[in-house]
Amino acid sequence: MKKVALAYSGGLDTSVCIPLLKEHYGYDYVIAVIVDVGQPEEDINEAQKRGKELSDKYVTIDAKSEFVNDYVFPLIKANGNYEGYILGTSIARPLIARKVVKVAIKEGAEALAHGCTGKGNDQLRFDLIFRSTDMRVIAPMRELNLIRKEEHKYAAEHGIEISADKKWSIDENIWSRSIEGDLLEDPTFIPPEDIFKWTASPEDGPDAEIIEIGFECGIPTSLNGKALDGVKLIERLNRFGGKHGVGRTDMIEDRVLGLKARENYEHPAATILLKAHKNLESLVLTRNELRFKEIVDSTWSELVYQGLVIDPLYDDLNAFIKSTQKRVSGSVKLRLFKGRAGVVARSSPYALYSKEMVSFDDKTLDQKDAEGYSKYHGFQARLYKADNQNL
């Protein structure tokens, strides 16, 4: 019996994949693997219902805690951000792919499949993990060059009930929610308010609210003084930030293939945590560490965006980042108001900060000592200016 394991979401693309894998690829047994990284409960239930109806076997894996602890927390430490995108979808794909591989091995499958198209980034993220095995990799949407209209027709012919009226393509996990497709593909189109689910309109937000995030070694551990595990902390911050309209991104994104794409995201908790973490780093890390870490963080983010999490450089960068986080402990207070999350206070036992030395009202430092330094500051620039006045 020929078996194939499919990364399954319950949506149009992956649902259509099931009969395609049988009819066009000759597989007798399709295993739909549903990996829960914080999707809405109704989406998981719908995926299970469709998986039961369409596949020969479906497997649901609760990976929320693993996703937060092993993927999101390292992202926070690296201030993960690609062109303004907080890497919500991209950081989840390697975990999902690895879970599919694990199921495939257990079930004795000889192939791995996903429903990604040939235009986006996800195909690369799944392919990289899948191709690290000796199993065949199948991507029906890409290989058969299918577009949405053709998928809906095929689904109807096979009794797969998926509404063709659904305007937007949604991808959601505990860290972010992406909204794309249809009119949103036009960069001149102003998104309607009804595309948003996690965030209220900033104009309608309530009075300002101050919250406090506690960190230990770069990991967020508490909210307003109460210790919380990662999943609960992110869920609560999504609610806190969402009601204030915090965490919306509308951007033109450069995909790996070179295509520019218009993307809309919601990510209240991510916005709050990344801003708080980076601000705390500015208090405890040296200027040289911060300067070099910006380069490391940028490179780390690009690797994650491209799905290159098995590249040796990814591990090397994580080793450096982990070392810098030993002192990133303390707390950060933020003010949430009308779509903004602004840092208003921070503290740490490792702060490289002396109130006495920096204060204009203290004589701990003798100001006259700075004169010698000042005389040599910009020395070469002054020489250049003097010697080249006529240039």
Of the candidates 150, 305, 38, 43, the residue with the CA atom closest to the CA atom of residue 8: 43
- Backbone angles phi and psi of 58, in degrees to 5: -125, 145
Query: Catalytic site residue 169?
Result: yes
Of the candidates 323, 277, 256, the residue with the CA atom closest to the CA atom of residue 296: 323
Of the candidates 41, 47, 48, 93, the residue with the CA atom closest to the CA atom of residue 67: 93
Q: Packing angle between helix 268-284 and helix 287-306, nearest 10 degrees?
A: 150
> Which of these is catalytic: 36, 122, 171, 297?
122
The conformation of residue 193, written as its DSSP 8-state character, comes to G
**Rounded Cα gap, residues 22 and 30, in angstroms:** 8
Query: Helix, strand, coil shares of the chain as percentages rounded to 5?
Result: 45, 20, 35
H/E stretch holding 260 reads: strand 260-266
| Contact (CB, 8 A) for 107 and 5 | yes
> Which of these is catalytic: 15, 55, 93, 262?
93
**What is the pairing mode between strands 111-113 and 330-337?**
unpaired
**What is the pairing mode between strands 111-113 and 57-62?**
unpaired
Give CA torsion, residues 375, 377, 379, 384, to 10 deg: -130
**Rounded Cα gap, residues 190 and 174, in angstroms:** 26
Tokens of 276: 């708080």
Residue for token digits 């992110």? 234
Instruction: Using alpha carbons, list the distances in angstroms from residue 257 to 124, 305, 372.
Output: 10, 12, 54
CA-derived radius of gyration, the chain: 25
Query: Catalytic site residue 13?
Result: yes
**Rounded Cα gap, residues 189 and 100, in angstroms:** 37
Q: How many CB atoms lie within 10 A of CB 182?
A: 14
**Rounded Cα gap, residues 152 and 164, in angstroms:** 7
**Rounded Cα gap, residues 111 and 63, in angstroms:** 22
Query: Catalytic site residue 93?
Result: yes
> Which of these is catalytic: 56, 169, 222, 335?
169
> Which of these is catalytic: 13, 36, 127, 171?
13
Which residues are identified as catalytic?
Answer: 13, 93, 122, 169
